[in-house]
Structure 1
Amino acid sequence: MKYTVSTEIALPREEVVRLLADPAQLPKWLRGLVVHEPLSGEHGQLGTRSRVVFRTGKQEMECIETITRRDPADLRDVPGTSVVHFDREIVGEGMWSAVRDRLTEVRPGTTLWESENEYRFSGFFMRLVGLVMPGAFRKQSRQHMRDFKAFAERGADVREED
Structure 2
Amino acid sequence: MKFEGYIDINKPIETVAKYFADPKYLGEYQEGFEKKVLEEGEKGQDGAISKMYYKNGKYEMVLTETIVSNNLPNSFEAFYHHKHMDNTMKCEFTALSENETRYQVYVEYTRIDWFMPRLISILFPGMYKKPARKWMENFKNFVESQED
| Same fold? TM cut 0.5 | yes
Task: Find the counterpart in structure 2 of residue 46 from structure 1.
Answer: 46
Are residues 1:112 and 2:112 paired? no
Which secondary structure does the structure 2 equivalent of 1:102 belong to? strand
The whole-number CA distance in structure 1 between the counterparts of 2:54 and 2:78 is 16
Task: Find the counterpart in structure 2 of residue 122 from structure 1.
Answer: 113
Which secondary structure does the structure 2 equivalent of 1:90 belong to? strand
Task: Find the counterpart in structure 1 of residue 70 from structure 2.
Answer: 70
The whole-number CA distance in structure 1 between the counterparts of 2:107 and 2:55 is 20
Are residues 1:103 and 2:105 paired? no
Which secondary structure does the structure 2 equivalent of 1:139 belong to? helix
Are residues 1:146 and 2:147 paired? no
What's the TM-score once normalised by structure 1's chain length? 0.83
State the aligned residue count. Answer: 145
**Judging changes above 3 Å, is the alpha-carbon distance between structure 1 residues 129 and 60 closer, same or farther for their aligned structure 2 residues?**
farther
Which secondary structure does the structure 2 equivalent of 1:69 belong to? strand
Of all paired residues, the percent bearing the same amino acid is: 30
State the 1:63 CA deviation. 1.3
1:92-146 C-alpha deviation (Å, 9 max, x unpaired)? 0120100000000011110000000111312434322322342121000011111
**Judging changes above 3 Å, is the alpha-carbon distance between structure 1 residues 133 and 36 closer, same or farther for their aligned structure 2 residues?**
farther
1:52-105 C-alpha deviation (Å, 9 max, x unpaired)? 12223321121111000112xxx4xx5xxxxx1100000101201000000000
Task: Find the counterpart in structure 2 of residue 91 from structure 1.
Answer: 81
What's the TM-score once normalised by structure 2's chain length? 0.90
Does the 8 A contact of 1:23 with 1:43 survive in 2? no
Gaps of 5+ in 2: none
Gaps of 5+ in 1: 79-83, 156-162
Does the 8 A contact of 2:79 with 2:87 survive in 1? yes
Which secondary structure does the structure 2 equivalent of 1:47 belong to? coil
